[in-house]
Amino acid sequence: MSTSEPVNIIMIGMAGSGKTTLMQRINAYLHEQNKAPYVVNLDPAVSKLPFQANIDIRDTVDYKQVMSEYNLGPNGGILTSLNLFTTKLDQVVSLVEKRASTTKYFLYDTPGQIEIFTWSASGAIITNTLAATYPTVVVYVVDTPRTASPATFMSNMMYACSILYKTQLPFLVAFNKTDVVGHEFAVEWMEDFEAFQRALRQQEDESFMNSLMHSMSLVLDEFYSHLRVVGVSAMTGQGMEAFFGKVDEAVKEYHDEFRPAMERQMEKKREQEKKDKEQQLQRLMHDLAVTEGKEVDL
Ligand SMILES: Nc1nc2c(ncn2[C@@H]2O[C@H](COP(=O)(O)OP(=O)(O)OP(=O)(O)O)[C@@H](O)[C@H]2O)c(=O)[nH]1
């Protein structure tokens, strides 16, 4: 792996978690380090970007026009705009490839509608296409102050888990807004199952919800054990160095695990296609022989 190898960083997170502000902070940090990134905005509904995007979905798709043309609400409009944009993704990839010899980091801001990455086709096309070219890391941005109660924490982590499950890409949870509330409580809850159970008990007395949450937290325990986590503040810039340390770890995981698994899958697909072709050819030969009145052994 060369040190100048490009890295795609995709920001995903709930609306208001601070993705755009974090992009701006990372952008400023990398400029200070003389590593100016290439920035791609994939949020068609953002009204004002605090940074200059090299590629902006809004230059290609007019989200308001999509809403009226397809008679959609805001969420449907965003999803459809992204679907329309994925038809141009090959152009994005070729622009990225052109810049790859001079740029290390390629940053992608996404809409707060994270269901795009849990079930829509465009989300999967975007992550798979990017990951097929260069090391790609998904950064799941969490609004730390708004996640300080056990119930919201767990629901946010379940979203994170489903995005990881869907993308299967190296994953980093960035607890943002640590200038307001530190993320240590979250790390403790993830590392110490009993600590989370205590927090649950403090929240309410025994109820159906708490026992459900108890069961769900058992499921999430396995997810936490492989999770990469960092605390950042997009506002103050706190945690930037640690953030890039974790990105490096995620890139290593891409090379050690993701890439070989992807290549194995592609090899399997190629073998299956070869087998299918051979079978089709055999069937064709058989049909030709039958029409000519000959018998063939297959
Ligand atoms: N205190 C504090 N506020 C932050 C931080 N990061 C973002 N914010 C604020 O959180 C709000 C939402 O930030 P955005 O960057 O617009 O969030 P987003 O995730 O891009 O939102 P959507 O585009 O709606 O998905 C804004 O008011 C930001 O100023 C942070 O680190 N600390």
- Mean pLDDT lowest for which of 139-143, 151-155, 187-191? 151-155
Between the CA of 25 and the centroid of ligand 1 the distance, in Å, is 11
pLDDT of residue 42: 94
Degrees (nearest 5) of the Cα angle 83, 86, 91? 160
Q: Write the residue with the smallest CA distance to atom 10 of ligand 1.
A: 18
ipTM of the complex: 0.97
Amino acid letter for position 261:
A
Question: What number does the ligand 1 atom closest to the CA of 234 have?
Answer: 31
- Residue 5 CA to residue 119 CA, distance in Å, equals 30
CA 51 to CA 20: how far, in whole Å? 9
Q: Does any ligand 1 atom lie closer than 6 A to the CB of residue 21?
A: yes
Name which residue sits closest to atom 30 of ligand 1, judged by CA: 177
The alpha carbon of 233 and the centre of ligand 1 are apart by a number of angstroms equal to 10
Average pLDDT, the chain: 90
Is the distance from the beta carbon of residue 24 to the nearest atom of ligand 1 less than 6 Å?
no
Q: Are 217 and 193 spatial neighbours (Cβ–Cβ below 8 Å)? A: yes
pLDDT one-digit tens code per residue, 195-215: 988 888 877 655 666 677 778
Q: What's the pTM?
A: 0.88
Ligand 1 nearest atom to the CA of residue 15, by list position? 25
Can you tell me which atom of ligand 1 is nearest the CA of 21? 15
Give the dihedral of Cα atoms 287, 291, 293, 294; nearest 10 deg.
-30
41 Cβ closer than 6 Å to some ligand 1 atom: no
> How far is the centre of ligand 1, averaged over its atoms, from the C-alpha of 18 (Å)?
3
Name the residue with the closest Cα to ligand 1, atom 9: 18
Hey, what are 234's tokens? 């997009």
Q: Which residue has a Cα nearest atom 29 of ligand 1?
A: 21
Phi, psi of 40 (to 5 degrees): -120, 125
Q: What is the pLDDT of residues 99-149, one digit of tens each?
A: 999 999 999 999 998 888 887 888 889 999 999 999 999 999 999 999 999
- Ligand 1 centroid to Cα of residue 13, in Å, is 11
144 lines ligand 1 (CB under 6 A): no
**33-75 pLDDT per residue, tens:** 999 999 999 999 998 899 999 999 999 999 999 999 999 999 8
Residue to probe by mutation, ligand 1, list 21, 27, 29, 57, most atoms within 8 Å of CB: 21
Decide: 19 in ligand 1 pocket, CB within 6 A.
Answer: yes
- Beta pairing, strands 55-56 & 171-176: unpaired
Pairing state between β 38-41 and 105-109 = parallel
